Structure 1
Amino acid sequence: MTVPKPAPGSEAIPEFPEAMRQFMERLGFGTRPDRAYPLTGGVSSDIWFVEAKGRRLCIKRALPALRVAADWRAPVERNHFEYAWFQRVARILPDAVPPLVGHDEQAQMFAMAYLEPEQNPLWKRQLLEGKIDPAFAGHVGEALGAIHAATAHDRQTADEFATDANFHAIRLEPYLEATARVHTDLAAAIGRLVATTAATRLALVHGDISPKNILIGPKGPVFLDAECAWYGDPAFDLAFCLNHLLLKCLPVPQGAARLALSFERMVAAYRARIAWEDPAGFERRCAALLPGLLLARVDGKSPVEYIIEDKDRDYVRRIARPLIAAPVATLAEVGHRWLAGFR
């Protein structure tokens, strides 16, 4: 989900869904909001801005079929686990999640506070505009590491987020397995990435740690869109975010040096938090997974929208493919090979 704003064509705003109207009433906000309109930026959910009784809220309802070109379906029950991820993380880092308002289990929707974009700019937008702050990347790494450290080897959290089928449907299949069907010569290597990730259950994973889902809040990063919440491999979260820092070098080549420093700061801040396993073993998994995710964002079911030139897609393939075939042991080496083309 991006920073909330009205969908284009406000003269044709659809009617506020009846199910959301009833949800608002149950929450005590009445049936007639002062304002309500759908928000842009999401492919997996209906997201509405609602203003009622002096409060500004976002209501989010999961969709069974995602709004992408490929056929991509996912269980709507992920809405429950997203809300539960916010609840769990609020006990660890209260300022790292939006304030929650309420959840409707049957309708698979929840309400949270609307965070004003002026005070909570979207990290993705800042990066694409060339406003690159490596210190903030370090704060993201530190917060992510704190979440993983607080939930590592926690049996209750593991039982609550035993969402293997959801995670496969939303992440492993559309990203890695779909990419393996395009790059058939790498299918075995990508299959090993899938198997390792699926079998590793160590901590509470967000599953979509991307700049498009991180606000630069007054007190640090604020994480959104936890639909992929899963008790599994924390290396997936770090690799997923580092992936986006590298990819941003393509639309923002003049920012490559600061993106490289952001990459380093995030890795260092996160690594300092690893206490649940051997840091070197964690880094090997993360370094193996990262090039698979790079390739997935040009040849999987969810290609990034800002890589539009064939030469840029070819650059991703040229760097990622050899690293998938012969994984390296460190994230620094993955970053070095990627960034060599921008120096």
Structure 2
Amino acid sequence: MRRIFLALGLAAPEEEVRAQPLAGGVSSGIYRVDLRSGSYCVKQALPKLKVAKDWKVPVERVFAEIGYLRTVGAMVPGHVPQVLGEDAASKSFVMAFLGPEYRNWKAELLAGRIDVETARATGAILGRIHAATADDARLAAQFANDADFHALRLEPYLVETAREHPELAGRLLQVVERTAITRRVLVHGDVSPKNILLGPKGPVLLDAECAWFGDPAFDLAFCLNHFLLKAAHLPACTGALMDSFAGFLQAYWPQVRWEPVAALEQRVATLLPGLTLARVDGKSPVEYLAEPQRQAVRRAAIALLQQEPASLASIAGSWAREFA
């Protein structure tokens, strides 16, 4: 680690470089380094994720994240961390450290502090990224990370859930196949509140190691899923969470110019219940749901999968009736 800071000119030759591990994340080692030149964040990809089920992924995914942050940083400045340098040998990179003025969106939601404007801002930023990268052949070649995306997202979420629910395997695997072959925009792949910091200039997207040129429906469904899951955990906040669900989409839809909104919405609506079920029965279950809540989410998600909802409004309405 000392080598990269010396190479970047961030540490003096005689200066000691100490790394302090930071909490959070299941896929990487994340460290804070304080030097005379400032404070920095180092991220190093792990070959095996810190979850109960066996989940091994290629460490080369770190280069997809570096590429995403640099690409998107030029499109929405200030809404992703600044990459300062990388070290190919250790599969790690250095970012600017974001201090205590940045709040974690997941922590805010779990505390019951639901801000619809945050959801709108996130939807708008994601829409800008998708619109700016749509059908870009250069980016499609750079982020042709199909195998990594399958290993990081499609297999542990949807394929694993199909194993747990063989009666639903046909529907789930059909969604997997459709998602895998739809290549339209630069996808973040992990648009989750835990990976979004709320700072002075609005949301900042973190953890882009799943970056892939693919289906924008995945980013949308992945984020919307968390409003549903938080409603199951905090039923008193269901109204505000469903308002956030709607606000996120209202800010996102006007950016869509690469395909009809109705076509994209239909893919999101059929993907979303599968991802919801995956967060109780896949390889990465959410940790905050008690067993009765997990059972309720499972029942509601299965019902939606069987109905094959045509619109996201119908999913939000059904969820509100179930959990409010």
Number of aligned residue pairs? 322
Structure 2 counterpart of 1:232: 214
Q: Deviations over 1:111-157 (max 9, x none)?
A: 0011012x110111011111110011000000000000000000000
1:315 is displaced (CA, Å) by 1.1
Structure 2 counterpart of 1:313: 294
Structure 2 counterpart of 1:6: none
Is 1:153–2:104 an aligned residue pair? Answer: no
Q: Deviations over 1:200-235 (max 9, x none)?
A: 000000000000000111111100000100000011
Q: Deviations over 1:224-262 (max 9, x none)?
A: 000100000011001000001110112222211111100
Inter-partner Cα distance in structure 2 for 1:95 and 1:207: 19
Inter-partner Cα distance in structure 2 for 1:244 and 1:264: 13
1:314 is displaced (CA, Å) by 1.3
Percent of aligned positions that are identical: 51
Structure 1 counterpart of 2:181: 199
Q: How does 1:35-46 map to 2 (within 5 A)?
A: 35-46=18-29
Which residue among 168, 172, 177 is the counterpart of 2:154? 172
Q: How does 1:111-130 map to 2 (within 5 A)?
A: 111-117=94-100, 119-130=101-112
Query: Secondary structure, in 3 states, of the residue corresponding to 2:276?
Result: helix
Structure 1 counterpart of 2:51: 68
Which residue among 251, 258, 262 is the counterpart of 2:244? 262
8 Å CA contact 2:190, 2:222 repeated in 1: yes
Q: Root-mean-square deviation (CA), in Å?
A: 1.1
Q: Which runs of 4+ in 1 moved over 6 A?
A: none
Single out whichever of 32-41 and 206-215 deviates more from structure 2. Answer: 32-41
1:316 is displaced (CA, Å) by 1.0
Please, what TM-score do these two structures have when normalized by structure 1?
A: 0.92
Is 1:338–2:282 an aligned residue pair? Answer: no
8 Å CA contact 1:197, 1:233 repeated in 2: yes
Q: Which residue identity is paired with 2:94?
A: A
Inter-partner Cα distance in structure 2 for 1:311 and 1:66: 27
Inter-partner Cα distance in structure 2 for 1:40 and 1:318: 33
Which residue among 270, 281, 285 is the counterpart of 1:303? 285
Inter-partner Cα distance in structure 2 for 1:330 and 1:107: 45
Inter-partner Cα distance in structure 2 for 1:37 and 1:224: 19
8 Å CA contact 1:33, 1:51 repeated in 2: no
Is 1:52–2:35 an aligned residue pair? Answer: yes
Q: Which residue identity is paired with 1:323?
A: L
1:172 is displaced (CA, Å) by 0.3
Structure 2 counterpart of 1:21: 2
Structure 1 counterpart of 2:119: 137
Inter-partner Cα distance in structure 2 for 1:310 and 1:107: 40
Query: Secondary structure, in 3 states, of the residue corresponding to 2:52?
Result: coil
Q: Which residue identity is paired with 1:167?
A: F
Query: Secondary structure, in 3 states, of the residue corresponding to 2:78?
Result: helix
Structure 2 counterpart of 1:251: 233
8 Å CA contact 1:33, 1:50 repeated in 2: no
Is 1:101–2:84 an aligned residue pair? Answer: yes
Inter-partner Cα distance in structure 2 for 1:22 and 1:101: 14
Is 1:82–2:65 an aligned residue pair? Answer: yes
Please, what TM-score do these two structures have when normalized by structure 2?
A: 0.97
Gaps of 5+ in 2: none
Structure 1 counterpart of 2:256: 274
Inter-partner Cα distance in structure 2 for 1:111 and 1:338: 41
Is 1:329–2:296 an aligned residue pair? Answer: no
Gaps of 5+ in 1: 1-19
1:36 is displaced (CA, Å) by 2.6
